[in-house]
Amino acid sequence: MSKLRVLSGMQPSGQLTLGNYIGALKNYVKLQITHDCYFMVVDLHAITVPQEPAALKEQSESVAALYLAAGIDPKAATVFLQSTVSAHAELGWLMTTLTYMGELERMTQFKDKSAGKESVGAGLFTYPSLMAADILLYNADLVPVGDDQKQHLELTRDLAQRFNGKFGETFKIPQGYIPEVGARVMSLDDASKKMSKSNPNAGSYIALLDAPDVVRKKISRAVTDSGREVKFDPANKPEVSNLISIYTQVADKTIAEVEALYEGQGYGPFKKDLAEAVVTVLEPLQQRYREIRESGELNRILAEGKERAAEQAERMLKEVKTKMGFVVL
C-alpha cells in the first residue's frame, strides 16, 4: 500500500521560532518515516508583503537549512524552494480564476494583515489561491495546519471539489492534520497570541538560532500570572500554562510531572530549568545548522528536491491544463 502524502511549508519572512519547532518541525521529522512528505520553503508567499532581496535569499536558505538541522532527511522527504518549481505560480493563477471574491474577502488572515494599512498588495488578497495550488499540485492527502490556516485549507477543499465538478475528477480532497500535542505555542509576553516570528517584540518569541544567553534572558523575562504556583490551568493561569506546555515538549515530560517537580518552589526555579531544557534542545540543532551552511551542501539538496517536486508538479499541471482546454505541447 502506498504511503499517504503530506505537503507543508513555512514562510522565510523572519526567523523560525521554538513555536515552529514544537508545532511543526518535530512532527515533520516523525511524518517523514511513515508518509510520503514534501516540505517546501514558501518564498512566493513571503513576497505578499515587501521583502528586501538579500534578506529574502538569506532567510530562504536559512529556513531550508533549519529543516535539515531539525532532522528532516532529504533522502526520506522532498525538501525544496517553492519558487524553483514554476508550476506553483502557474497553477496558482488557474486556481485564482476559480476563486470567488467573497471567499477571499472572508479570510481572517487578510483582514488581520491588512488592518490599518493605507495600501495593500493584491497578492496578499489572492495568496490563498496560491496556497491551494501548492497543495493540489501534489495531490496531498494530509496538510499539517495550525488554527490560523484552517480557513485556507477549507478553501483548498472547495476549489478541488469545484474543479472536479466542472472539469472531471482530478484532485484528491486534502484533509487537515493537527497534532494532538504541541500544535500551538503562545507568545512569551501575551499568552492570548500565538508565538510568531513576525511579532515586533523579539522578547515575545524564542528564535531557533537565539544564543543560549538570549534564550535564558527571554524566558526569565517571560510574563507569568499572579501567584507563584506552577499549575497548568489555561483558563486562570494562561501564561504559566504556556510555559509548562513548552517544558513538556522540550523535556519530554508530562504536565503532571512538571507540576510535581516544582510544587511549592515558585516560578524562579521553574523558569531557570525551563531555559536550560530549551538550550539543551537548541544547541545541537544550531550546531547542525552551522555545519549544513558551511558545508555548501544546501544548494545540491535543494536542487535535487526541486527535480523531484517538479516531476510530480508538472505532471499534475499538464493534466489540469488539458482538462481546462489549453493547448498542451
**What are the tens digits of pLDDT across the range 89-110?**
999 999 999 999 999 989 887 8
> Span 288-301, mean pLDDT?
96
More confident residue, 158 or 115: 158
Residues with catalytic roles: 113, 194, 197
Return d(Cα 116, Cα 127) in angstroms, integer.
Answer: 19
pLDDT-based confidence at residue 44 (cuts at 50, 70, 90): very high
pLDDT-based confidence at residue 269 (cuts at 50, 70, 90): very high
The grid coordinates listed for 130 are 496560491
Whether residue 150 is predicted with pLDDT greater than 80 in this model: the reply is: yes
Whether residue 182 is predicted with pLDDT greater than 60 in this model: the reply is: no
Whether residue 208 is predicted with pLDDT greater than 80 in this model: the reply is: yes
Burial 94-128 (b: 16+ CB within 10 A, else e): bbbebbeeebbeebeebeebeeeeeeeeeebbbbb
C-alpha distances in Å from residue 80, one per residue of 37, 229, 266, 295: 11, 45, 45, 18
The grid coordinates listed for 110 are 487578510
Whether residue 58 is predicted with pLDDT greater than 80 in this model: the reply is: yes
The amino acid that residue 68 corresponds to is: L
Determine if residue 324 is left, alpha or beta; phi over 0 gives left, psi from -120 to 50 gives alpha, anything else beta.
Answer: alpha
Torsion angle (degrees, nearest 10) of CA 306, 310, 313, 314: 160
- Phi and psi, residue 43, nearest 5°: -70, -25
The amino acid that residue 224 corresponds to is: T
The amino acid that residue 69 corresponds to is: A
Which ranges of the chain does DSSP label H, i.e. alpha helix?
Answer: 18-20, 26-34, 43-46, 53-69, 87-98, 101-105, 108-114, 122-137, 150-167, 212-220, 238-251, 255-261, 267-295, 298-324
| N residues, the chain | 329
Mean pLDDT of the chain: 92
Whether residue 56 is predicted with pLDDT greater than 90 in this model: the reply is: yes
Whether residue 149 is predicted with pLDDT greater than 90 in this model: the reply is: no
pLDDT digits (tens, 9 = 90+) for 219-261: 999 988 888 889 999 888 999 999 999 999 999 999 999 999 9
pTM exceeds cut of 0.85:
yes
